[in-house]
Amino acid sequence: MDKSIHRFDRHSTTRTDLIDLENAPEDGLAIRFRRRLVGRQLRVIVEQPDRKRPGRWTGRCDHYELISMDGECERGDLVDVRVTGLDGSDTLATIVEQPVQLPLLNGNSPQSTQMETCR
């Protein structure tokens, strides 16, 4: 399979080819995109503690990029971060603005209480 051409033909592509593409080193469009994020400010929704880096949180930005961030926040918060760098396949950032709590995501709303009692 020619690595310079990344067309997907579902009739001729095997499962092995797809696994090879998934495990290919990041030398293409994805890494160029992530490099362009460095120094930018992004809005991120906080998902969970970072499993690889204690004391940090992970979340997704508007571009659906997974961000590892440091700073004070909780699951379900909406935070503004500044991307500080890349570490392998991880995009690292620091929280620059106080989080906005989204009550529907962190369980502090009357609707979430009603939903719990209905189950």
On whether both 50 and 107 belong to a single domain, the answer is yes
On whether both 91 and 108 belong to a single domain, the answer is yes
On whether both 17 and 49 belong to a single domain, the answer is no
For residue 18, what pLDDT is reported? 42
Averaged pLDDT, 11-18: 46
On whether both 87 and 52 belong to a single domain, the answer is yes
* pLDDT per position as a tens digit, 20-59: 444 555 568 888 899 999 999 999 999 999 999 999 999 9
Enclosing H/E stretch for 91: strand 90-95
User: How many domains, the chain?
Assistant: 2
On whether both 22 and 42 belong to a single domain, the answer is no
* Measured distance CA(64)–CA(77) in Å, rounded: 16
On whether both 82 and 99 belong to a single domain, the answer is yes
Domain extent, residue 65, equals 38-118
